[in-house]
Structure 1
Amino acid sequence: MLYIIYPYRNRELKRIENSLNSLKNQTNKSFTVYFVDSGTEHTLAKDVENLVNTYDFVTYVYHNTQHQPWNKSRTLNSAIKSLDGGFCFVADVDMIFRNDFVEIANQLQKPNKATYFKVGFLDQVETQRDKEFEHCNIKFESTSEATGLTMFPVENLKKIHGFDEFYHFWGSEDTDVHVRLKHSGCDVQFYDKDILMLHQWHESYRIKEQDKLTKELQLSHIVRLNYRHLNHANDSKRTIVNKSTWGNIMTKSQFQELETCDTEMTSILNTLDRIQHFLYVELHNLEPGIYRFRFYSNSSEKSLKQKIKKHLGKENEVFLTMKEVNDMVLLHIISFYRNKPYTYKVNDKLQELYLTITL
């Protein structure tokens, strides 16, 4: 049996349908799909659930993580932990599978060996055309450096505690798990004999990155940090990660408790000293409980304070942009508090940030 895991958030329905239809037509039916929806917006999530439930080989799971940054590693780990053995394949809604993919994948299964696959990439025009797999015009092919689409022996993944949950947003988590599996003695091979999958075109995620605050959660330079973490994994020869816990998702009841919490909110002005003191002193020393924090910018307060201090000859406070506050707070949370139930939001006017967390 092959377990196929889709980590998913906020992608269009047609893309999902194309991918699952290609699995529906497999020559070998010895597989099951776990479609793990990590916090898709509720209106779309209902449509997604209705769609995937039309396929009898798919199990749909929803995570209440819509107010947390994307964490593909934890999404995958939540499914991997539930498997009893065998092999799992990390899929993607961009993939269209050749009708003999499962048959060939099952033939490639060997103890202590992971296999990842060459992919053919379609351009935007070709993606929109309704063609049979063998008639699609491939723009370019992936190389062995593209590690995202891999079939793993489940027990080998469990031994190293799955994917490293430090990685958030995009980049390096797939290569990291390859590196650690190799360090643990597992063989990792690249299948390039034939193209068994096609990649549906989409706009690069890098293009969406902005140097200003947005409603959609973003963190400046996170790809570079993820890559540095990957280098550390390689250099240190480490194997096991997520040592305290792995694959644990905030429950629906925990999410609702955060959303309905009426604890008094603590407001923190966007000065460097206040943000640093909150992150490195106050937060660490709080007693267990649910807390709400508001980070805000007050231009009139800033202007008045600066004028008074300048008149008195005192050092001016250092005010941060709300983007800078966002990056400091969000990086701190995902680095040290990612295993705690929390929600993190940017208000519509992009002037305030809200953190609610259970400590």
Structure 2
Amino acid sequence: MSLSIVIVNRNRSFHILAKTLDSICPQLNDSTKLVVVDYGSSESYQSDLEYLINSFTSVQLILCPTQGQLFHKTRAINMVLKGCTTTYFMVLDMDCIVHPNFIKKAIELASENTVYNFPYGFLKEEESKKSKAFGEYNIDFIGGLTGSAIFNTQKLQDLNGFDEFYHNWGAEDADMFDRLEHIGVTTVLYQEELLLLHQWHEKNYRNPKSKQAFHSHLEKINHEYYGLSRKRNTTKANLNHQWGLFCDPNEYAVLKEPLETWHFKNYRQEVEGLFISLVEHPLNTPVKIKISKLSKSIKGVFKKMINRSVKPILCMEEVNDRLLETLMLHYRNNAYSFEYDRQLGVIQLYIHAETKE
């Protein structure tokens, strides 16, 4: 009986990641392998991560040059899942501390038609910084559905893997449990003993002040999308896109070269025309798209005063969200880099080649 475990990472503290690896690596063997997929940490971080992972000889590392993209956990998972040949498959958070007998217990319970989900015991900030034996940590609370599960690999592959609409965090695991249920696979929450601890960490990925890609209410959209998928009894995912695609470094290298540039202001008709064009006419050449906030002009104020027609505008936050939604729906497998400088009121998107359907 063989098992593949995948950990998806982006810019997580090395202290946290090292504690996770220290706890799980002694449990690996010839039939249990671990793959870390780093999806878009900074280039300097990825260099340091490669050095760290090299000290764990049993761990495989996949580096994705997706800096400037929304975090895409489901795609990162599917990169490993699609070609996986082990009997069972598990997704483990990068901020776990694993019980010394966790892998042994998970494999004992593993079943083709039953998914065992192991909940997390959450630690507070100060407790997370301590180094203790697993059973000595003081647990703040035990989570419910959130945890790590052991799946039959073929069942996941039959459903086209995890739904790659989901970006950032939220609902992708519940979505999978529901889709498996439709084909007769039951999910059981394992409550006999606590086998996983969750280390506290800051949620920097939710910082709207960053220039990195950030959608103001993406996690809520994830949950609404999940609710509709559940209502519609969705089984197979990723029907309109290829899934589990690896990132081609050559495509991302192009983003660093001078590109054809399209300039826009945040006039409603300009940016809505852009969104429609990106959907109706897929890109076949690398481009840079720059959208700048319209500055208030004396002429514009005067027109308003005398009730003359003024072109409507979209606020830059809405432009940001809608452009990111266009990327998620139509260009999520493309090489792209996105940033929004809220102080300057400028959005810049670098994107490569045609869509990959």
Does the alignment reach a TM-score above 0.5? yes
Residue 122 of structure 2 contacts residue 197 of structure 2 at CA under 8 Å; is this kept in 1? yes
Contact map agreement 1:73 1:163 (CA 8 A) in 2: yes
Distance 1:287 1:157, change over 3 A: closer
What per-residue deviation string (whole Å, max 9, x for no partner) do you get for residues 147-197 of structure 1? Answer: x41111111110111111111122111111111111122222211111011
Deviation digits for residues 293-317 of structure 1 (CA, Å, limit 9, x no counterpart): 1111231xx4245235336643222
1:273 is aligned, of 264, 269, 279, to: 269
Residue 59 of structure 2 corresponds to: 58
Distance 1:6 1:94 in 2: 9
Partner of 2:27: helix, strand, or coil? coil
Unmatched 5+ stretches in structure 1? none
- Is the deviation greater in 309-318 or in 98-107? 309-318
| 2:244 is the counterpart of 1:247 | yes
Provide closer, same or farther for how the CA distance between residues 191 and 162 of structure 1 changes in structure 2, counting only shifts above 3 A. same
1:169 aligns with 2:163: no
Q: Distance in 2 between matches of 1:338 and 1:48?
A: 25
Gaps of 5+ in 2: none
Stretch deviating more after TM superposition (173-182 or 311-320):
311-320
Shift of 1:204: 4.8
- With the length of structure 2 as denominator, give the TM-score of the two structures: 0.92
Task: Supply the AA of the counterpart residue of 1:314.
Answer: R
Matches of residues 73-88 of structure 1 in structure 2 within 5 Å?
73-88=74-89
Structure 1 residues 69, 197: CA separation in 2 closer, same or farther (over 3 Å shift)? same
The answer (yes or no) to whether the contact 2:35–2:59 under 8 Å persists in 1 is: yes
Q: Find the residue that maps to 2:259 and give its secondary structure.
A: coil
Q: Distance in 1 between matches of 2:122 and 2:212?
A: 27
Q: Which amino acid aligns with 1:294?
A: K
- CA RMSD after TM alignment: 2.1
- Distance change in 2, residues 1:159/1:282 (3 Å): closer
Aligned to 1:39: 40
* CA distance in structure 2 between the partners assigned to 1:281 and 1:19 by the alignment: 45
Q: Contact conserved, 1:9 with 1:40, CA < 8 A, in 2?
A: yes
**Aligned ranges 1:68-217 → 2 under 5 Å:** 68-143=69-144, 145-146=145-146, 148-204=147-203, 208-210=206-208, 214-217=210-213
Counterparts of 1:176 and 1:298 in 2: how far apart (Å)? Answer: 41
| TM-score normalized with structure 1 length | 0.91
In structure 2, relative to structure 1, the CA distance for the partners of 1:323 and 1:214 (3 Å cut) is farther
Preserved contact between residue 164 and residue 238 of structure 2 (Cα < 8 Å): yes
CA deviation after TM superposition for structure 1 residue 58, in Å: 0.2
C-alpha distance in structure 1 between counterparts of 2:143 and 2:307, whole Å: 61
Q: Name the counterpart of 1:227.
A: 223
C-alpha distance in 2 between matches for 1:60 and 1:255? 19
Q: Is the 8 A contact 1:22 1:99 kept in 2?
A: yes
For 1:51 and 1:282, the matched residues in 2 are separated by 40
Change (3 A) 1:303 1:194: same
Q: 1:245 to 1:305 in 2, by over 3 A?
A: farther
Q: For 1:87 and 1:356, how far apart are their aligned partners in 2?
A: 38
Q: Give the 3 Å change call, closer, same or farther, for CA 118–352 of structure 1 in structure 2.
A: same
In structure 2, distance between residues paired with 1:105 and 1:231: 29
The count of aligned residue pairs is 351
Distance 1:135 1:250 in 2: 41
Cα deviation for residue 28 of structure 1 reads: 7.0
Task: Give the partner amino acid of 1:248.
Answer: L
Identity %: 29
Q: Which residue of 2 aligns with 1:258?
A: 255
Deviation at 1:349, TM superposition (A): 4.7
Give the letter aligned to residue 225 of structure 2.
H
Asked whether the 8 Å contact 2:4–2:86 carries over to 1, the reply is no
- Residues 274 and 154 (structure 1 numbering): CA distance in 2 closer, same or farther, change over 3 Å? same
Q: Are the equivalent residues in 2 in contact too, given 1:29–1:102 (CA < 8 A)?
A: no
Structure 1 residues 183 and 201, CA gap change in structure 2 (3 angstroms): same
| Superposition map of 1:14-29 within 5 A | 14-26=15-27
The answer as to whether partners of 2:261 and 2:288 remain within 8 angstroms in 1 is: yes
Which of the residues 291, 295, 299 maps onto 2:291?
A: 295
Following superposition, the deviation at residue 281 of structure 1 comes to: 3.6
